[in-house]
Homo-oligomer: A and B are copies of this chain.
Amino acid sequence: MALIVQKYGGSSVADAECVKRVAQRIVATKKAGNDVVVVVSAMGDTTDDLIDMAEQVSPLPPARELDMLLTAGERISMALLAMAIANLGHEARSFTGSQAGVITDGAHGKAKIIDVTPGRIRAALDEGSICIVAGFQGVSQGTKDITTLGRGGSDTTAVALAAALEADCCEIYTDVDGVFTADPRIVGAARRIPRISYEEMLEMAASGAKILHLRCVEYARRYNIPIHVRSSFSQKEGTWVVDSSDIEGHEMEQAIISGVAHDRSEAKITVVGVPDKVGEAATIFTVLSEAEINIDMIVQNVSAASTGRTDISFTLPASDGQSALAALNKLKERIGFESLRYDDRIGKVSLIGAGMRSHPGVTATFFAAIADAGVNIEMISTSEIRISVVVAQDDIDTAVAAAHRAFDLDAEQVEAVVYGGTGR
């Protein structure tokens, strides 16, 4: 008998019909002889509706109370889901994050999980119950206030519970069939990736693939929890996110490249005319870090000998753009830079694949494909298993399609190469 943790997102439980369909899937898993723990998000637009209500009473609601408000969303969906399962003749019990033992720090709105003590879940499982747990929420250590985990929180709840319960796997249900080699809306020939390593999935997530959140993959990697990303609207196998040793050992002909990700949510700031002195770059990024702004890519041009000045460009979430500009402008005198340039019409295209470590020429092929498509590269950054380039936002689709084709990822071409292994 396996223990399976399933997570259903808001679109999977958007209305009563959806809730009933999900209940059937859960009961089927139970009937197949498994213990089942389900993590559920708030229904459809509930969270947005609650935020609207908060804005109507206060322009800047206290974070503690916003968390108290938002956690009403999962309370509703989890109780309804438990009712729908009971209506199918199976015992189901719902638990808040606090009841499920999800202990967090006190950072309201973006709490981190410190510990999971699922004693009540285990007891309910032992009594034969299906357990429904509210995603996205926990209770703070010490003060015992209700907290929310922030973006991707429900996925993280699911993986954290799977780890604490030593579950056999964690199924993340979504509205697509799994992780694809590129966004199918851009590349019609994009294929589902049957198996991918945690590291590649992390790079995919960091590069704009929205299907799994960074935190959840990091958690799964740390505790070695296999994640199965699949659709709640079909019975198809999805994508398994697993330890790299579980891939390379089984698949004889590992794909060089897993996929092409893209991200439209970033902006680029260029600090023009920075005096080329030791420590200026450090000052700039210390200030941005103090303003809690996450920097992604950084490029520093070679200093022009004639002026002794240089330009520093970096990318960041466009939503942080205005606060970053404000923070830097306060520093203008101290650093003595000339001006700031801001561009939010950019995009990032990333090539991800553990195989590129051992295959020379990947970078050259990638740049050539983009150049041949007539797209100009503005910035470049690389890691062991990823190459990212910044291009004009209008060029993203062209660049993604070109890279996808250049690495033989299009479905009709590469079945033999990429599915070379045994799969699962």
Contacts and interface: CB of A to CB of B under 8 A. Distances in A.
A377 interface: no
A278 interface: no
A68 B62 contact: no
Interface in A61-85: 61-62, 64-66, 68-69, 71-73, 75-76, 78-84
Contacts of A16: 53, 56-57
Given A68-B78, A68-B94, A72-B72, A83 B61 contact: yes
A64 B71 CA distance: 18
B72 A58 contact: no
Contacts of A120: 144
A57 B75 contact: no
The interface size bin for chain A is: 35 or more
Contacts of A83: 54, 57-58, 61-62, 65-66, 69
Contacts of A69: 75-76, 79-80, 83
A93 interface: yes
Tell me whether chain A's interface is mostly helix, strand or loop, or mixed: helix
- List the number of copies, as a whole number: 2
B84 A58 contact: yes
A20 interface: yes
A20 B55 CA distance: 12
A325 interface: no
A274 interface: no
A233 B352 CA distance: 63
A270 interface: no
Given A57-B20, A87-B59, A75 B79 contact: no
With a 10 A CB-CB cut-off, give which of A68, A69, A71 has the most chain B CB atoms. A68
A50 interface: yes
A310 interface: no
Given A62-B83, A62-B86, A68 B75 contact: yes
A78 B83 CA distance: 25
Interface of A: 16, 19-20, 23, 50, 53-54, 56-62, 64-66, 68-69, 71-73, 75-76, 78-84, 86-87, 92-94, 96, 99, 120, 144, 146
